Amino acid sequence: MNPHYIIDGYNFIYDIPRFRKAMDTTLELSRELLVSFLRGYLSVHKVKITLVFDGDAKSINQPQFRSDVRMSVVYSKYPQKADDLIKQIIERQKNKKSLFLVSKDTELITFSKHHGANVIAPFQFFSLAESHAGQDMMDQKYNPTLSEAELTEWLKIFGEDKSDSDDQQ
């Protein structure tokens, strides 16, 4: 049976600098970047992913569940915590040998191991997922590097002189 990864969403975001940095812009951006990253991984691997986030009173507009064939994005329903929802998902799974919790949360790790599930740290999963060709293509498409001329042009467009920004650092 193909592996099923249950990912503790915010735990993963806080552990991986690429996604944690995106939170400086918005939390939604960091979540969407993570979803995009995982879709890249799914494009070349036959796995199932359940990505779980905490719901809160502010995320009323968030759908409680977003899914496609091999990836589900689930928000706990306030006041329930993502950890409790993850535990429920683990308990309901029949084939625990193909189940992997992706988290550094010690309580969840203990719970998962007690129920026969495997555990992998977020950074380990990220390293594994980042090293595949599908992700490389996604990175090239959505994270292109700018030439010095392009950078200068964008700085002019936004009214900032590159030499001014260098002086401030």
Using alpha carbons, select from 55, 50, 56, 60 the residue that is nearest to residue 88: 50
- Ordered per-residue pLDDT tens for the chain, 169 residues: 899 999 999 999 999 999 999 988 888 889 989 998 998 899 888 999 999 999 864 554 454 445 567 899 998 888 889 999 999 999 999 999 999 999 999 999 999 999 999 999 999 999 988 876 555 555 555 555 667 777 777 777 777 654 544 444 4
What separation in angstroms does the CA of 22 have from each of 29, 80, 117, 135? Answer: 6, 25, 30, 18
pTM (2 d.p.): 0.73
- Domains delineated in the chain: 4-131 (3.40.50)
